[in-house]
Amino acid sequence: MVDQNELIGTWKIEVPSGAYGDVAMSFDKGGGLRYSTHENDKEQIIILSYRLEGEVLVTDQPSAPRQERTRVVIEGDRMTLDYNGKISTYRRLL
């Protein structure tokens, strides 16, 4: 089970990929998530809400409501996400 306090902060993808690009995620204590991608000197920001259900991160984008579920594992300063079999690993920045 993942504790919300473990999630709070900013995480950056370890190896940018075609599937996700150069991604950073910032989780706040109030259930807010800022998901940003960087590509060709452009930044795209998506504002989401989130909650944890055990080891599942449930996100929702208020401007286009639809819940997404991603398995999350946090070990120290590393977070691994499994979204429908697509694995991505992040390092804690802050």
Q: How many domains does the chain have?
A: 1
Centre a 10 Å sphere on the Cβ of residue 72 and count the other Cβ atoms it contains: 19
Residue with the two structure tokens 């594992």: 73
Provide the b/e sequence for 31-54 (b: ≥16 CB within 10 Å): eebebbbeeeeeeeeeebebebee
Domain interval for residue 66: 4-92
pLDDT in tens, 47-76: 999 999 999 999 999 888 899 999 999 999
Single pTM value for the model: 0.88
- What is the longest distance spanned by two Cα atoms in the chain? 37
CATH of the domain at 82: 2.40.128.280
Q: Which pLDDT does position 16 carry in this prediction? A: 65
